[in-house]
């Protein structure tokens, strides 16, 4: 609840400051920024094969040595496609390609590389994408408009097409249906763990599967909240409906998360539907089709799972933070208030310091620009009312709140006292680890 004391009394000596034992432990934890995130899942999802969906990886040496850095996903004929991309005004050449091709609604091959994002690489970057498309279409026996390219890594470094195309050939040679785990590893950059999720749904007697992989750990903010995510299902869904599903699903998952408020030039979320598990049924093509509800719920659940995995791998993260906003003017106002809290460095450092500093939450609500009634604002932390009717709850029980702040999962609820708009967003804390990863790595 307290602000930092004056670091130096006027005219006096710098005040001595002790680091208590529990802080020392927290520091040690954040120092190990290069180790696997303490918020990593205990075990990784095992993704089942999807008929006709072949995945292959290769170590092409685009930047990393001795690890896979190319992924190819080959999709059967008739696969529908949809996608959501970064809103950046300086999007990469691969994003430009995907945005164009997604309009055709069809997908046969996805080529992904890590190590170089081919962003801000001028005409040469466009040429690299074009050469990749030609080679991939030939390899997949598809049209150029059915090829998708995604690149993640350094910005502004010219990317030679040859290693990528050679890597693609190797990856295709090795491709089979059972390489989801390798695939998730090949697309990592500063990620400390791979991200996988899978769901099964019954649709009129057919068992349908949805598999997804993602990568991302910094530069994570709406819109999009991940750098790269690829989701494939064997359901049969028409492309226009698939686009509706992914757009709405992204809003409630990736676009409701933020690690550091920065937006990548390369953010790409692609969703493909092969139809292989619904051979005896017609395509689902309408939002009012009764077969859609269960699928949609499973897809949204999977997207949220992947988005949370990305946040839990936020650079330097030691805590996973849920922020539920209610009482806002509208859903979008609630989301903007939530993201203002999620993106506030002062809120995020307070959480890193295990400090239930709700004053900073008030500040963040105020800066969001959305309507809020200062004198009706209420805040709950870990389920305990700490502020209500515009001031601290007199004599609230600090012990359970302090215990909650020491945990890995922090729950914040804010009611701004205006209307009925609600939204939940997710973020992580801001620690020494984030600074170490992003400031200290140059030799």
25 scored as a contact of its own copies (CB under 8 A): no
Instruction: Indicate the residue among 130 and 355 with the shorter CB distance to its own copies.
Output: 355
Residue among 174, 349, 422, 424 that touches its own copies (CB under 8 A): 349
Instruction: Indicate the residue among 14 and 205 with the shorter CB distance to its own copies.
Output: 14
Angle at 225 between CA 221 and CA 226, to 5 degrees: 125
Residue among 25, 35, 51, 297 that touches its own copies (CB under 8 A): 35
Across the beta sheet with 147-154, the strand order is 54-58, 70-74, 109-116, 147-154
Instruction: Indicate the residue among 273 and 365 with the shorter CB distance to its own copies.
Output: 365
42 scored as a contact of its own copies (CB under 8 A): no
H helices within 45-101, ranges in order? 93-101
CA distances to 62, 71, 87, 215 from 48, in Å: 29, 18, 33, 19
Binding to its own copies, residues 393-432 (CB under 8 A): 429-432
Binding to its own copies, residues 270-299 (CB under 8 A): none
Residue among 56, 107, 153, 216 that touches its own copies (CB under 8 A): 153
390 scored as a contact of its own copies (CB under 8 A): yes
* Options 22-30, 165-173, 198-206, 248-256: segment touching its own copies (CB under 8 A): 22-30
What stretches of 99-243 adopt beta strand conformation (E)?
109-116, 147-154, 195-203, 206-215, 228-233
| CA–CA distance, 102 with 93 (Å, rounded to integer) | 14
Binding to its own copies, residues 200-219 (CB under 8 A): 218-219
Residue among 4, 28, 288, 399 that touches its own copies (CB under 8 A): 4
Helix 161-174 to helix 122-140 angle, to the nearest 10 degrees?
20
Instruction: Indicate the residue among 121 and 309 with the shorter CB distance to its own copies.
Output: 121
Phi, psi of 141 (to 5 degrees): 65, 35
Instruction: Indicate the residue among 22 and 200 with the shorter CB distance to its own copies.
Output: 22
* Interstrand relation of 320-328 and 409-415 (parallel, antiparallel or unpaired): parallel
Binding residue count for its own copies, defined by CB under 8 A: 113
8 scored as a contact of its own copies (CB under 8 A): yes
Instruction: Indicate the residue among 42 and 89 with the shorter CB distance to its own copies.
Output: 89
Residue among 141, 156, 290, 383 that touches its own copies (CB under 8 A): 156
Residue pointed to by tokens 């089709």? 289
Q: Which residues pair with 110 in a beta bridge?
A: 73, 148
Binding to its own copies, residues 294-333 (CB under 8 A): 315
The question of whether 226 is a catalytic residue gets the answer: yes
Q: Which residues pair with 203 in a beta bridge?
A: 206
Cβ-based neighbour number of residue 300 at 10 Å: 18
Name the strand (E) or helix (H) holding 172: helix 161-174
Residue among 130, 252, 363, 385 that touches its own copies (CB under 8 A): 363
What stretches of 238-302 adopt beta strand conformation (E)?
257-258, 268-273
CB of 266 to its own copies, least distance (A): 9
59 scored as a contact of its own copies (CB under 8 A): no
What stretches of 284-332 adopt beta strand conformation (E)?
320-328
Residue among 28, 66, 280, 399 that touches its own copies (CB under 8 A): 66
Q: What is the end-to-end Cα distance of the chain in Å, rounded?
A: 39
Q: What SS3 state is found at 427?
A: strand
Tokens, residue 436:
């170490």
139 scored as a contact of its own copies (CB under 8 A): no
CB of 430 to its own copies, least distance (A): 7
Instruction: Indicate the residue among 52 and 353 with the shorter CB distance to its own copies.
Output: 353
Catalytic residue selected from 121, 226, 257, 427: 226
Instruction: Indicate the residue among 22 and 279 with the shorter CB distance to its own copies.
Output: 22
Residue among 45, 50, 54, 68 that touches its own copies (CB under 8 A): 68
CB of 279 to its own copies, least distance (A): 35
Q: Which class for 207: exposed (0-12), middle (13-18), buried (19 or more C-beta within 10 A)?
A: exposed
Helix 93-101 to helix 122-140 angle, to the nearest 10 degrees?
50
Binding to its own copies, residues 96-125 (CB under 8 A): 119-125
Residues serving a catalytic function are 226
């Amino acid at each position: 609840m307290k602000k930092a004391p004056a670091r130096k009394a006027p005219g006096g000596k710098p005040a001595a400051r002790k680091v208590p034992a529990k802080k020392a432990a927290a520091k040690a934890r954040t120092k190990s920024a290069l180790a696997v995130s303490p918020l990593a899942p205990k075990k990784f999802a095992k993704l089942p094969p999807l008929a006709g969906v072949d995945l292959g990886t290769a170590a092409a040496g685009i930047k990393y040595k001795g690890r896979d850095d190319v992924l190819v996903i080959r999709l059967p004929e008739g696969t529908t496609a949809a996608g959501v991309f970064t809103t950046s005004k300086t999007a990469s050449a691969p994003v430009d390609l995907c945005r164009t091709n997604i309009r055709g609604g069809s997908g046969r091959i996805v080529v992904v590389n890590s190590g170089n994002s081919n962003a801000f690489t001028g005409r040469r970057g466009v040429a690299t994408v074009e050469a990749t498309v030609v080679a991939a279409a030939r390899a997949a026996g598809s049209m150029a408009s059915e090829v998708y390219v995604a690149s993640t890594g350094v910005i502004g470094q010219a990317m030679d097409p040859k290693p990528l195309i050679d890597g693609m050939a190797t990856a295709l040679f090795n491709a089979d249906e059972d390489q989801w785990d390798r695939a998730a590893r090949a697309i990592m950059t500063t990620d400390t763990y791979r991200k996988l999720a899978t769901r099964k749904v019954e649709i009129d007697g057919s068992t349908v599967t949805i598999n997804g992989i993602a990568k991302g750990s910094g530069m994570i903010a709406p819109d999009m909240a991940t750098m790269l995510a690829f989701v494939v299902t064997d359901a049969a869904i028409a492309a226009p409906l698939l686009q509706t599903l992914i757009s709405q699903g992204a809003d409630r998952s990736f676009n409701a998360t933020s690690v550091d408020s920065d937006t990548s030039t390369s953010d790409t979320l692609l969703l493909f539907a092969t139809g292989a598990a619904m051979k005896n049924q017609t395509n689902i093509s309408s939002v009012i089709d009764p077969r859609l509800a269960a699928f949609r719920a499973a897809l949204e659940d999977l997207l949220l799972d992947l988005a949370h995995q990305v946040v839990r791998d936020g650079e330097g993260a030691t805590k996973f933070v849920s922020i539920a906003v209610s009482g806002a003017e509208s859903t979008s106002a609630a989301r903007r208030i939530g993201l203002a809290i999620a993106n506030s460095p002062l809120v995020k450092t307070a959480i890193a310091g295990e400090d239930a500093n709700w004053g900073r939450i008030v500040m963040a609500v105020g800066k969001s620009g959305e309507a809020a009634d200062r004198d009706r604002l209420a805040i709950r932390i870990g389920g305990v009312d700490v502020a209500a009717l515009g001031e601290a709850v007199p004599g609230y029980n600090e012990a359970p709140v302090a215990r909650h702040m020491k945990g890995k999962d922090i729950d914040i609820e804010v009611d701004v006292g205006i209307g009925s708009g609600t939204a939940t967003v997710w973020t992580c804390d801001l620690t020494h680890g984030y600074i170490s990863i992003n400031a200290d790595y140059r030799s």
